[in-house]
Amino acid sequence: MPSHLITLYDIQCKLDSTAWSPHTWRTRFILNYKKLPYQTTWMPLPDVQTVLPAVGVLPTRAAVPHYTVPAIVDELEGSPAVVMSDSGLIADYLERTYPEPSIYHGAKALQTEHMGAVSQHVLSRMGFMVFPNTPRLLEGREREYYLNTRKGIFGVELDDMFPEERQEEMWANLKEGFAALGAYIDGIEHSEQWFFSKTSEPGYADFVLGATMIWFKLSGPEKGWERISEWDGGKWARFFRNLEPYTASSVIDSSS
């Protein structure tokens, strides 16, 4: 049996391939990449605010306590369990505790800069295309909860985020964002396989981009990923395929 077992808390949906949260995928990629033994506890979206505090997770927003995924509990043999949330804090913890293989490659500041480029050029342009399409992943009280809480979070009705009369304009804006990210990538040194690493192994920013792509593929406009796959000579689809070894739902290896 492994000397430790990590529990990853994630939100479920009705798809067979259940993992869809982009921030949780950042953590999931790291766990798979580092081959750490872990299991996933799936939660209905409305239960996040009760399940996480019950296992000792601290709120990610303290003024009015609010709990978010990802969250992990690392059961360390002979030591108190480590309980935390926030994908960035979890990434730092996993890198510090299980340093090989590295996600930062000795240059966390550089990976942070690359993540900023992903957010600026791509992630920020996707939100209003994804949020109104996400309800199709949910059903029952989970769907009802999502519909009832999104306006309070984003300040905009879901129906007003991606209106039919603006869809092609928003698609063009996203395509420009990917082109800008491509130009950024062309201006930095990187390996043939990865955009944000000079080595044969991915960097954390590669996982951040991959998590963003999975989120859009599952939660974005129907057949939207097919559009992106054709942009820029298929470079984004090729990159996405390179991430396939790290897309398992869990890794529990009794020989670890």
Q: What is the pLDDT of residue 3?
A: 66
pLDDT of residue 197: 97
Structure tokens belonging to residue 61: 């927003």
The answer to whether 111 and 104 are in contact (CB under 8 A) is yes
- Indicate whether 255 pLDDT > 70: no
Distance CA 228, CA 123 (A): 13
Domain residue spans in the chain? 4-103, 108-245
Is the pLDDT at 2 greater than 70? The verdict is no
pLDDT of amino acid 249: 66
pLDDT digits (tens, 9 = 90+) for 198-244: 999 999 999 999 999 999 999 999 999 999 999 999 999 999 999 99
Task: Please give the CATH number for the structural domain made up of 4-103.
Answer: 3.40.30.10
Q: Which residues neighbour 243 within 8 Å (Cβ) at sequence distance 6 or greater?
A: 29, 202, 206, 207, 210
User: For 182-189, what is the mean pLDDT?
Assistant: 97
pLDDT in tens, 81-122: 999 999 999 999 999 999 999 999 989 999 999 999 999 999
Among 154, 134, 143, 158, smallest CA distance to 20 is for 134
- Phi, then psi, of 220 in degrees rounded to 5: -85, -170
Range list of H helices, 55-123? 87-97, 108-118
The single residue listed with the structure tokens 């342009």 is 125
pLDDT in tens, 37-76: 999 999 999 999 999 999 999 999 877 789 999 999 999 8
Dist CA 254 CA 179 (whole Å): 44
Residue 62 pLDDT: 77
- 252 pLDDT more than 70: no
Tokens of 144: 């009802």
Give the model confidence (pLDDT) of 151-179 as tens digits: 888 889 999 999 999 999 999 999 999 99
* Whether domain 108-245 has CATH 1.20.1050.10: yes
Confidence tier at 150 by pLDDT (50, 70, 90): confident
What pLDDT is recorded for position 152? 82
- Mean pLDDT over 2-29 rounds to 89
Question: How far is the C-alpha of 30 from the C-alpha of 128, rounded, in Å?
Answer: 27
Which DSSP symbol is given to 232? G
Six-digit token pair at 49?
């605010």
Contacts of residue 112, Cβ cutoff 8 Å, sequence gap at least 6: none
For tokens 């990923």, what's the residue?
225
Q: Has residue 16 got a pLDDT over 90?
A: no
